[in-house]
Structure 1
Amino acid sequence: MKFFCKLITIIFTVCVVQCRETVRNPNSVKVNDKIIYDCVDIYKQPSLSHPLLQNHKIQLKPSFSISKPKDKSKSKIQSNKIIECSDGTVPILKHTNVSVTNAQHWAKKHFSPLTIDSHGTHIAGVRALPYQGPYHGVTALMSVHDLNISVDQASYTNIYVGSGVSDKVNFLQTGWMVNPALFGDSRTWSYGFWKGVNGTGCYNTICPGFIQVSRTDPLSIPIPYPRKGDRTIYISILQDKKSGNWWAIHVNYHAPDLNIGYWPKEVFDLIGTNADMVGVLGVVQASPSGKSPPMGNGHLPTKHEKESARIENVEIIDSQFKAIGSRKYKLEKLLDSNKCYGLRAREDLPLHDLFTYGGPGGDSCGI
């Protein structure tokens, strides 16, 4: 009888230990066979292994919120709703050796918004000039589109902040992208990209750098379709006033903003306190053959903005950490290939309120 009681005790103890171990291990959220997110302890996420973040203390939310301008968009957050990690954990996309290699390849080719020329890259958008800064962020609403992109091309739209000195550049950006080689499919994904100290940096959470905070909305995920209306994202890059960290945020006028996560100031050596330049861009990367992919919704902008890819409500975070819009700033238009792409502003609206952009691409877009 004593032996039987000891056996039951041992079995019970083993079960308790196994249950505890199961709780400790990250559970996973499977979007499909190729897209899986591990729910990992927020304090043990991969980015904390970055050499410059060994003593970093995670910031769970921004220390302040910016004052929002009058609601013009009637936009609501289109939350992904397909991921919900448990309290204390955050979703981190699982990567294969192939996806890591592809990310490294595209990181080398990724267009820097602070340079003038980049082989095979074309742009259409706006930026605030360096002499009007310093800046602490930028916000914009952008329409989101599906595109037919070959495996050796990329097309994306983003907001960005950055600074450059001589041949050194720091910048970070977030928005949407179609890039089959990077993501493994032809869908439209949200994404983030950064370049910091010693020119290092990469996409999303593929290498250490971005600190994920939201347990429901990862930095990078296929962008869902809304139940009604067109597909848009309203996003912000905001530097925290106290910590200096750069937050990626989904803006919502009807509820608190959704704080996705942030790039710690420690991984930058030029934008630790502010940025010299901010902007909003549509960008494409041509294939080695020279054929450029479509940008925006794949059509040249027309006078009917609902038929075109569009950017609305561009707000710049100024030196006083206020979102004052572009009224205070002169915005420079950027368009390097009017053969294949276009940029159109309405005469009755300021440029920061609305502009349309994009085009079909093709074989004669230049280099």
Structure 2
Amino acid sequence: MWLLKTQQKNRMALVMNLLLLSFLVASVRTVPLRSFKIGENVTYDCIDIYKQSGLDHLLLKKHTIQMKPSVSRIELKSQIGNKKKEKDQCPDGTVPVLRNTKEFITNAQFFAKKYIHPLTTDSPGTHIAGVRSFNGPYRGVEALFDGYNLNVGKNQASYNHIYLGSGVNNEVDFISTGLMVDKSKLVWRRTYFVIWILEVSQVIPIVKPHDLTPGQPFWLHPAIHQDKNTGNWWITLVDGDTPNINTPNIDVGYWPKELFNFLNNGANMVGVRGMVQTSPSGSSPPMGNGKFPTGSAMSPKDRASSAIFSNIQVLNSNFEPSKIDSSHIENVVDSTNCYVLRTGKVPLFHRTYLGYFFNYGGLGGNSCGV
């Protein structure tokens, strides 16, 4: 979702340009081989995979596109057998990119400048409810979570995502992916699955809006992992427990290793969280599904009443997968007046194994602070 590199002040202009270039990877600069629409004013063009503008970055001039991860996730045959072919799929050798408008580019520039922040809870106007671990190095992170169509006002944003990062002193490499509701900066008033990477998938676009029914969850299970052979950081959409995804696991694309200074040997920290951006007036938007966690964490009904992150897993320094160790988890909630975090663990013998999970969210308002 985000490629954030927070550097010292004399390098900030370069950082802004890097983020914006990654975001505008959807800019069409060649004649598309095919186009399709997924909604009103939402058009995608299928362009040559080697013509995506992310490759224009100076650090990627000699980069060779990696077409698939060295090691893919194992998929159950029963999962694949019931899948339907996507009707909006680009031809071989092409990827779907969003057809930009002047308004979209202008809003993207504003977004890129406003949402630069390090791995900290001290970003003015930003509120967080989530968990993180500094017990690295980590080679990956993944989680299953739900997103909602929230009532987000002008100059506000609400999003939930998984992330990982490393840094030294004032320099940080930070990558993330998830869902975002931002009705003032982006053209379409919808929930977004947003990633800034080099794309290889013919099915999943880099920027994809979703029309959501108010009150109904949209499930997403993304996984970020470092490729053991190349060092690139891949993102995969995991299927099997996400009811709204009707395709097998999809390797969407990757962040090239050349873009980073501190992630070659893994990430020092991983985390999953809900996050909001307060408007200049001081009013904060809702987080999660806009409701506080209530009742018992062990009750399926109570767990379903608020937004949730579950099935949280990491890859350790040896690229071995494991459920996240709750003994090394730090809870982060910076505005308890407005947002609540409740953690729990469903045992392995339980019919629905969520592992370590947490409910979170709240209404926001004017008493959240800045």
TM-score (ref. length: structure 1): 0.80
Q: Distance in 2 between matches of 1:315 and 1:257?
A: 16
Match status 1:366 vs 2:369: yes
Cα deviations across residues 139-170 of structure 1 (Å, max 9, x unaligned)?
Answer: 00001211011131000000001112111111
Secondary structure of 1:29's partner? strand
Counterpart of 2:333 in structure 1 is 335
The answer as to whether partners of 1:36 and 1:94 remain within 8 angstroms in 2 is yes
The two structures, once aligned, show a CA RMSD in angstroms of 2.9
Question: Given residue 204 of structure 2, which amino acid in structure 1 is its aligned partner?
Answer: D
Give the one of 85, 93, 99 matched to 2:90: 85
Match status 1:162 vs 2:154: no
Moved more, 138-147 or 81-90: 81-90
| Identity percentage of aligned residues | 44
Q: Distance in 2 between matches of 1:79 and 1:122?
A: 39
- Runs of at least 5 residues in structure 2 that lack an aligned partner in the other structure: 1-29, 242-246, 296-301, 349-353
Match status 1:114 vs 2:119: yes
Q: Distance in 2 between matches of 1:354 and 1:25?
A: 43
Give the one of 147, 151, 157 matched to 2:150: 147
Give the one of 224, 234, 238 matched to 2:221: 234
The answer as to whether partners of 2:234 and 2:255 remain within 8 angstroms in 1 is yes
Deviation (angstroms), 1:353: 2.5
Q: Distance in 2 between matches of 1:230 and 1:246?
A: 28
Are residues 77 and 45 of structure 1, via their aligned partners in 2, closer, same or farther at CA, if it must alter by over 3 Å? Answer: farther
Q: Distance in 2 between matches of 1:30 and 1:89?
A: 16
Deviation (angstroms), 1:30: 1.7
Match status 1:96 vs 2:94: no
The answer as to whether partners of 2:343 and 2:356 remain within 8 angstroms in 1 is no
Counterpart of 1:285 in structure 2 is 277
Give the one of 35, 38, 41 matched to 1:34: 41
Match status 1:211 vs 2:198: yes
- Runs of at least 5 residues in structure 1 that lack an aligned partner in the other structure: 1-22, 69-73, 193-203, 205-209
Moved more, 307-316 or 37-46: 37-46
Larger radius of gyration: 1
Are residues 260 and 347 of structure 1, via their aligned partners in 2, closer, same or farther at CA, if it must alter by over 3 Å? Answer: closer
TM-score (ref. length: structure 2): 0.80
Question: Given residue 142 of structure 1, which amino acid in structure 2 is its aligned partner?
Answer: F
Question: Given residue 344 of structure 2, which amino acid in structure 1 is its aligned partner?
Answer: R
Q: How many residue pairs are counted as aligned between the two chains?
A: 321
Q: Distance in 1 between matches of 2:156 and 2:118?
A: 18
Q: Distance in 2 between matches of 1:105 and 1:117?
A: 21
Secondary structure of 1:261's partner? strand
Cα deviations across residues 8-63 of structure 1 (Å, max 9, x unaligned)?
Answer: xxxxxxxxxxxxxxx97432112234211110011221111111111111111100
Q: Distance in 1 between matches of 2:367 and 2:217?
A: 31
Report which of the two has the higher share of strand.
2
Cα deviations across residues 93-140 of structure 1 (Å, max 9, x unaligned)?
Answer: 1222322222222222226361230111000000011xx211111000
